[in-house]
Chains A and B, each alone.
Chain A
């Protein structure tokens, strides 16, 4: 089962390596990872997606929590939450045809760059539908692809703050 964890972690050198190292050390996989400083930049917010049953995720959460640099961890999947991912796509202008545009229209997107040969698009959506969208495309039509990894947040009144 896919799980999405949100982590608040001190913005210190090596802190990220501790998290990534922990996953490896304990035999867990990271499917996607997103991290950037937030608010006063003294700490970062991280979203990690991984696989596992409840017990595994409970262990992961506890082990992450044990790291001295970690301020808080929360398993977003436990309750209702928002998840979104941003993708940069580079395709040839020729491929930017009606079929392509039809698939695109289910997503929030915008054209970042366009000329006679190249189109760069920004596409936003939840990770699962982005997976489907990308799968439906002709591999050869994609020149470059960059995904932000999932970022997430609890819904409405539940907050993850320090």
Chain B
């Protein structure tokens, strides 16, 4: 049997286990859309903007660990997908983005809707392909999924000129039985000698910290991390991307570290004598000034990407390997080792950490205290949400103060449940990402915690949610400002609020939600919060938009002092440095 290029593509996608394609049609993609129409294995989700398609596929990918698939047309369709590609690239999310392209013979002639997609996406993809023989489609698709999902995952673009999917040209479906890319061998076993050294260093330390990042989530190594710490019982902190990989209720858990990390986590990092970094990349939002980073710490760094090691902070013991395999190897080595970790020193270290926590730790009980006749605290919104969902919802977020409040107060107890744009910090991510998560886990509660600024960047997707019946819950932490920007202006620019407020131009979000066919609630009083959440979550089959007006003067603390600060230099409250 012979197939057109479009049919080859559909079959190849199906063989990769693809269930959903998030996309938007247009001229150069129409042959593909026709092939899509004629099959019934893959469902297409028509978004309202290609940025939404990429974030939705991204949410699907982050929550399932499988590659998310996007289909867009050439030119503006392709350029609209760029923000989503960059978002996925920065957070190592596996995506396969298929873009239509003008016909091969028109490439380079400035033809209608022609953009050099390979060129503009080059710095923000793991790899990209342009199809120049239709019969290559199955092989390219197979490779694209392999590259996107293995090693350090990332997005892959396949650009398909329109003539490659001409329905009149038919080909045999052929692809190699196994994948063999001589220039790409992602499976790396950790070096046993390095593992030995790491075990020795960890067991001989007196003030150790495990600093676990998004790599633990991406590498499905949460169980192994927990098992490792059952053995050594040392304090653990998570990056923004690593939250959920370690149980928040464990006494050894210090919460998030970094820019808005907990006081005790940042202090522990600064004062540590050993830092075991697992699947983390010493981002500048973590280290603060690299030259002042953890002056007395030996650094052990496990990462699948050798380029992440010693990029910012020199690793004393680098370990290149898959996170899961490396942690397992470390566990084995520790069990074999004769060195006993100094439990007395550890106890002392922990009491020091608890002391820091007692001094400036986060208050998770704010919600218990009702502030009458005052605006709601944004932190309380997250705490109430945590209780309304038993801490068990999938939470997506946008970017800003609300995002940090979720990271600080929603105690994620499972990996992958926290879906946010950490690396690129893309406003507009939350709603479409929630659609992807909801499609992947239709029975679970999926909540998008957003801000009135961010939500307006992809608000059009409310229409997509109606079309496909996606009953997600949106919690809009409405501080009537670009809060995070305003916070910086308060702190650094002497309260000059340049372009960070809207002067009474905000839409009525309740009526807006209703106009899109959904339900909207407005909350202005703390005592109404739990009732409204209860009501919203009881509306199982409806999208509910909960617009919560909060205290606009609230800031996110702690906050690392920059520039020229170290991890121990923090603002812990307005006008209070610790």
Contact = CB atoms under 8 A, between A and B. Distances in A.
A70 B122 CA distance: 15
Contact of A68 (B183, B305, B311, B314): B183
A22 B307 CA distance: 13
Given A14-B118, A14-B130, A68 B123 contact: no
A17 interface: yes
A131 B495 CA distance: 56
B183 A71 contact: yes
Counting chain B CB atoms within 10 Å of each CB, which of A10, A66, A69 scores highest? A66
A70 B307 CA distance: 14
Contacts of B182: 71, 162
Interface string B99-128: 000000000000000000011001100111
Interface string A1-27: 000000001100110011001100100
Contact of B307 (A14, A18, A55, A62): A62
Contact of A58 (B118, B123, B128, B310): B310
A129 interface: no
B130 A13 contact: yes
B307 A21 contact: no
B183 A10 contact: yes
B157 to A, nearest CB: 11
B123 A21 contact: yes
A153 to B, nearest CB: 20
Contacts of A14: 118, 122, 128, 130
Interface in B304-358: 305-307, 310-311, 314
A29 interface: no
A66 B311 contact: no
Contacts of A80: none
Nearest to A42: B182
Given A14-B128, A14-B130, A70 B310 contact: no
Given A66-B307, A68-B147, A25 B123 contact: yes
B311 A59 contact: yes
B181 interface: yes
Interface in A55-82: 55, 58-59, 62-63, 65-66, 68-71
Contacts of B305: 66
B423 to A, nearest CB: 15
A17 B310 contact: no
B130 A17 contact: no
Interface in B126-140: 126-128, 130
A55 B311 CA distance: 8
B502 interface: no
Given A17-B119, A21-B122, A25-B123, A68 B130 contact: no
Contacts of A9: 183
Interface in B142-201: 147, 181-184
Counting chain A CB atoms within 10 Å of each CB, which of B130, B183, B305 scores highest? B183
Interface in B439-493: none
Contacts of A65: 306-307
Contacts of A17: 119, 122
Nearest to A15: B183
B435 to A, nearest CB: 30
Nearest to A162: B182
Interface in B41-71: none
Interface in B183-241: 183-184
Contacts of A58: 310
A65 B184 CA distance: 9
A68 B181 contact: yes
Nearest to B314: A55
Interface string A33-70: 00000000000000000000001001100110110111
Contacts of B127: 68-69
A162 B310 CA distance: 27
Contacts of B119: 17
Contacts of A68: 126-127, 147, 181, 183-184
Given A17-B119, A17-B122, A21-B122, A55 B310 contact: yes
Contacts of B118: 14
Interface string B281-311: 0000000000000000000000001110011
A70 B130 contact: no
A76 to B, nearest CB: 20
A17 B118 CA distance: 10
Nearest to A55: B310
Interface in A87-138: none
A70 B182 CA distance: 9
Counting chain B CB atoms within 10 Å of each CB, which of A9, A66, A68 scores highest? A68
A59 B309 CA distance: 9
B181 to A, nearest CB: 7
Contacts of A71: 182-183
Contacts of B306: 62, 65-66
A28 B181 CA distance: 28
Contacts of B126: 68
A10 B181 CA distance: 10
B307 A59 contact: yes
Nearest to B119: A17
B150 to A, nearest CB: 11
Nearest to A24: B123
5 contacts: A13-B130, A14-B122, A21-B123, A55-B310, A69-B183
Interface of B: 118-119, 122-123, 126-128, 130, 147, 181-184, 305-307, 310-311, 314
Given A10-B183, A55-B310, A69-B183, 16 more contacts: A14-B118, A14-B130, A17-B119, A18-B122, A21-B123, A55-B314, A62-B307, A65-B307, A66-B305, A66-B306, A66-B307, A68-B126, A68-B181, A68-B183, A69-B127, A70-B183
7 cross-chain pairs, A with B, having the tightest CB-CB distances, nearest first: A62-B307, A68-B127, A71-B183, A25-B123, A68-B184, A62-B306, A21-B122
